[in-house]
Amino acid sequence: IEAGDMVIAYLNRENMIPLVVRPGATYNNRYGTYRHADFVGQPFGAKVVSHTGRGFMHLLHPTPELWTLALPHRTQILYQPDISFITAYLELRPGMVVVESGTGSGSFSHSITRSIQPNGHLYTFEYHAARAEQARKEFAEHGLSDIITLTCRDACKDGFDLEDCVDAVFLDLPAPWEAIASAKRAFKQNRMGRICCFSPCIEQVQRTCDVLREQGFRDVRMFECLQRAQD
Ligand SMILES: C[S@@+](CC[C@H](N)C(=O)[O-])C[C@H]1O[C@@H](n2cnc3c(N)ncnc32)[C@H](O)[C@@H]1O
């Protein structure tokens, strides 16, 4: 671990804190103080103990899965069951060009980039300026600026402004049907592409399906993805 690295401080399964290592800074919780300077030179996975000796945590290498659990929420986010399902059904793989809107808290964006690395590209669109700015900052801190283009724009009113270059589209918007015509133009025109519209309400799903069919999309299917843990 070096100064400037992002680590996920793993306290327990419910409690993970993303920290950018800045020698001179400290992380404090009720079990004591942890000096970032003590993290430098440790291997990822190391256990560090608080100055009181009462607390400890592990310093994990960030992954999209850990980031989803640790990120600062600005919005509802996608979690692993949906992320895995959508990634599989969109058939995301290295080299693909993907459109996403809205960016939200960037939870899914991180997973998308891992699937399409090293030479794919993610175009993500978010109309809320502060959310867009925060996501842009995090993508830069995580070394993703080259693979992600984030545009602050209303994807429904102003579209994606992309033509004939995209393999897959993911819409997590209140009114995804308003972005479908623009998504259609963005797809590579000479091959099959896939679109996923993620909505919590059946009325949204119905409107989306109607517009998908009107726009000529085929094989329109709806899934509800539930996770049940067995203790
Ligand atoms: C539920 S969040 C997306 C969460 C994201 N999938 C994640 O995993 O972190 C929906 C986002 O869409 C944005 N949004 C809503 N309507 C939009 C529009 N017309 N154009 C662009 N972004 C929009 C909202 O500001 C919000 O940040």
Could you report the per-residue pLDDT of 50-81, keeping only the tens digit for each?
A: 999 999 999 999 999 999 999 999 999 999 99
Answer whether 21's CB lies under 8 Å from 44's CB: no
User: Nearest C-alpha to atom 2 of ligand 1 is from which residue?
Assistant: 104
Scored b (16 or more CB within 10 A) or e, 52-69 reads eeebebbbbebebbbbbb
> From the alpha carbon of 104, which atom of ligand 1 is closest?
27
From 172, 180, 208, mutation site for ligand 1 pocket: most ligand atoms within 8 A of C-beta: 172
Mean pLDDT value of segment 125-144 = 96
Q: What angle do CA 9, 24, 139 make, to 5 degrees?
A: 50
Q: CATH homologous superfamily for 66-214? A: Vaccinia Virus protein VP39 (3.40.50.150)
Tokens matching residue 63: 């992954």
pLDDT tens figures, 189-207: 999 999 999 999 999 999 9
How far, CA to CA in Å, does 87 sit from each of 29, 107, 108? Answer: 36, 13, 9
| CA–CA dist 164, 139 (Å, integer) | 26
Question: For residue 173, how far is its CA from the centre of ligand 1 (angstroms)?
Answer: 5
Q: Is the pLDDT of residue 1 over 90?
A: yes
Question: For residue 172, how far is its CA from the centre of ligand 1 (angstroms)?
Answer: 6
How is the chain split into domains, by residue range? 6-62, 66-214
Question: Residues enclosing ligand 1, CB less than 6 A?
Answer: 75-78, 101-102, 104-108, 125-128, 131, 154-156, 172-174
Q: What angle do CA 209, 102, 68 make, to 5 degrees?
A: 110
Return the closest-CA partner of residue 148 out of 89, 108, 186, 206.
108
57 phi and psi angles, rounded to 5 deg: -150, 165
From 126, 138, 182, 196, mutation site for ligand 1 pocket: most ligand atoms within 8 A of C-beta: 126
Q: Are strands 15-20 and 32-35 parallel, antiparallel or unpaired?
A: unpaired
Tokens matching residue 174: 């209140």
In the annotated binding site, the residues are 126, 172
In the annotated binding site for S-adenosyl-L-methionine, the residues are 126, 172
What is the structure's pLDDT at 144?
A: 97
What mean pLDDT is reported for the chain? Answer: 97
pLDDT tens figures, 27-51: 999 999 999 999 999 999 999 999 9
Give the fold, CATH level 3, of 6-62: Vcp-like ATPase; Chain A, domain 2 (3.10.330)
Question: For residue 220, how far is its CA from the centre of ligand 1 (angstroms)?
Answer: 23
> Would you place residue 227 in the very low, low, confident or very high pLDDT band (cuts 50, 70, 90)?
confident
User: Nearest C-alpha to atom 5 of ligand 1 is from which residue?
Assistant: 104
> From the alpha carbon of 78, which atom of ligand 1 is closest?
8
| CA–CA dist 169, 197 (Å, integer) | 8
pLDDT tens figures, 107-130: 999 999 999 999 999 999 999 999
What is the structure's pLDDT at 231?
A: 80
